[in-house]
Amino acid sequence: MRKLLLGVAASALLATGALAADPVDTVQPTFSSAGFDWDGFYVGLGVTGGQWSNTESFGLVDIIAGVNVTAGDVLFGGEAWIGGYGTSFGFTGVEGGLEGRLGYLVSPEALIYLSGGGQFFDAGGQYGTVGAGVEFAVTDNVSLDLEYKYWGVSNNGFTAHSIGASANFHF
């Protein structure tokens, strides 16, 4: 009888151990973002407002085309644009420009950058520009950009300051 009780007790312990085994592992979903792809071509639409040194204000609406190349967290880019302008003195016309950009990716979706280039007007005004901006990825292929520019002395003697914003569509 004693052997029978020991056998039943041992069987019970072995069965209890099987019931107390580790619970079934549940798979938790993991999300990883590869980050925004800044490399390649983009096109966009931009608006800019500014003030020339002669107290005349101006506005620009531009179609933008550019290209970026990244090396680690550093971005090298070039941008060209063409569009229309209007001034507070009633002048309107066509303008455009070219600039280079050197940026740093503070996160996969956020860029800070310096820019430099030239701005050209059909009325003959030509400016050297330097600026700084921030650009944020808002979807897999769209970024929003905000940039300040200083427009150096031109052939007409004016300088300017401007703030511009653009929405860019990356390919």
The CATH number covering residue 124 comes to 2.40.160.20
Give the count of domains, the chain. 1
Q: What's the rounded mean pLDDT across residues 82-104?
A: 95
pLDDT band at 171 (very low <50, low <70, confident <90, very high): very high
Residue-level pLDDT at 55:
83
- Nearest-angstrom CA–CA distance, 69 and 77: 6
- In a 13 Å sphere around the CA of 79, the CA atoms on its Cβ side amount to 30
Residue 17 in domain: no
Distance CA 141, CA 137 (A): 7
pLDDT digits (tens, 9 = 90+) for 37-58: 999 999 999 999 999 887 889 9
**Does 10 reside within a domain?**
no
Answer whether residue 3 is part of any domain: no
pLDDT > 80? residue 13? no
Query: Is residue 149 assigned to a domain?
Result: yes
Residues 42 and 25 sit within 8 Å (Cβ to Cβ): no
Range of 63's domain? 40-170
18 pLDDT exceeds 70?
A: no
Residue 30 lies in a domain: no
